[in-house]
Each structure stands twice: as structure tokens, then as C-alpha cells.
Structure 1
């Protein structure tokens, strides 16, 4: 396995942060390139639920499916996707920190056979494309709170 990790402090309690992470429709507001995101499985969100996500990259749209692999409010949320023999898992761990939340985001990449040799390159691309992910999440969540106070 190969991957990377980022951490960020968000000035909102873990329950508020978790609520945004666990609502796939909100991804369009803070994940770069996501134009549509919705749960496609019936029932409440749970481990095993599938999210259909459409991203626009270099002017072209691509749709993929994400599977929830961990859902433990308000501390853990993880989603995984598989494409061309490579599985990517994004894990979010939330910890109370003062009046806010310390969020740890880990990207784990796995593959078998010859695809394993591609993992460092895929990890570098993912890190470049999504490296500001937590900063965008922080900005979005904190701005939502400020908007609530103002209204």
C-alpha cells in the first residue's frame, strides 16, 4: 500500500464536520471538479452504500462509484473507489480539538500485480489534484457557520 496524509483544524465541532463529509450532495461545494454527487443505494447512508460522483477534468466529465467503507459518527468516515485495478480509499478521522475539530485525511492506494508499480505515480497525481481538499473543506464548513450567524 502507498499513500499520503494531511491534517487540518476546522473551527467547528466534529459532529458538524462529519455531517458535511457524510452528505454526498455537498461534495459539489468543496471538492474540486465534482459537478454531481448522490447516493444511489436505497435507505439511510451506511457502510456499503454507493455514491455516484461525476467530476469534470480538463473539460471532460467522468462518472464513478464510491463505496462507503467506514461510517462511525462523528469520528470516522471512509470511501473507496476502484478503477483500472487500483483501489483508492479516503479515510477521515475526526478528533475534538479545543472548540473545533482536528481532521486527519489519509489517501491509501492498493493494487495487485504489475499495477503496483504504478502506485507512486497515481499517488503523486492524486496528491496534486486533491492536496488542497482539507483546506477547501475547512473554508466551506467555516463559511457555512458564518452564514448561519449572519442570518
Structure 2
């Protein structure tokens, strides 16, 4: 398993940032590896909502089906899966004055033939986590009124 974590301060109140982050289609705005992300159901975002996320990693596109498995006032958990990997995005929010401190942890568990590759892929996931930490505050700031 690979797990990367970053703490990111976003200059938005907690409730606004949670509302922004719970719509997983917005990964297109803040995750540089996301090519597209499409909601699979309708209505307000709720626990159990689903998305199809297409990402580009090492020059190849891969698709995962994500589900919002935890939706609390200060925590969101998205679980994505396909035949080679299970990805868990665990987001914890904490107020920090008028801003919000976000602890973002992405964990990937590889399956089958992909499992032995995990140690070799860690540096690339660390770089990707750094890119998310740089991009997310600006993306969230631009989109939240």
C-alpha cells in the first residue's frame, strides 16, 4: 500500500470548503492527474453518491468508480476501485481562524500483478500529492463564492 498525506490551509470557512470538496467532479480542478470526473447519480451529494473518475498516470489513463462512504461535517471519505487498485481519499477539516486546515490522505492498495510495483511508484505519488497541495487552495478559492 502507498499512503501520502498533506496538510493544506485553504482561505475558506470549513463549511464552504467541505461543500466544495464533497463534489468529487471538482477533482478536475485541483488534482492534476484527473482527466475527467462524472457524477453517476443525481440530486444533492450524499453518502453513497458515486463518480467515474478518469486519471492519467505515467502516460496511461485509468478509470475508477468512486463512492462517498463518509460524509460528516468535518470529514469526507471517497473510495475508488477498479480491478488493479483500491484508492481511499480521506479528508479531515479543521477551522483555523477564517481559513480551514485540510488534512488530505490518499491511500492506494494495488491488486494482483500490480501489487509488487507499489514501492517503485511511491515517489510519483509523493510528487502528485505535492502538486495537489499547491493547486487545491487556488482552485477552491476561485470556485467558492
Range class of TM-score, shorter chain: 0.7 to 0.9
Q: Deviations over 1:43-78 (max 9, x none)?
A: 4323332211223456654432112221113x1111
Q: CA deviation at 1:105?
A: 0.6
In the other structure, the counterpart of 1:5 is 5
Report the TM-score when normalising by structure 1.
0.77
User: CA shift at 1:104, angstroms?
Assistant: 0.2
* Alignment check: 8 A CA contact 2:36 2:54 kept: yes
Count of paired positions:
145
Determine whether 1:91 maps to 2:90. Answer: yes
Instruction: Report whether the alignment pairs 1:26 with 2:26.
Output: yes
Q: 1:61 to 1:84 in 2, by over 3 A?
A: closer
Residue 114 of structure 1, CA deviation: 7.5
CA distances 1:55-110 after superposition (whole Å, capped 9, x unpaired):
3456654432112221113x111112224443221111000011110000112233
The residue that corresponds to 1:132 in the other structure is 131
Residue of structure 2 in register with 1:35 after alignment? 35
The alignment yields a C-alpha RMSD, in angstroms, of 2.7
How do 1:45-64 residues align onto structure 2 when only pairs under 5 Å count?
Answer: 45-57=45-57, 61-64=61-64
CA contact (8 A) 1:53 1:64 kept: yes
Q: SS at 1:131's partner residue?
A: helix
The higher radius of gyration belongs to 1
Structure 2 unaligned blocks of 5 or more: none
TM-score, length-scaled by structure 2: 0.80
The 3-state SS of whatever aligns with 1:65 is: strand
Distance 1:81-1:121 versus aligned 2 partners, 3 A rule: farther
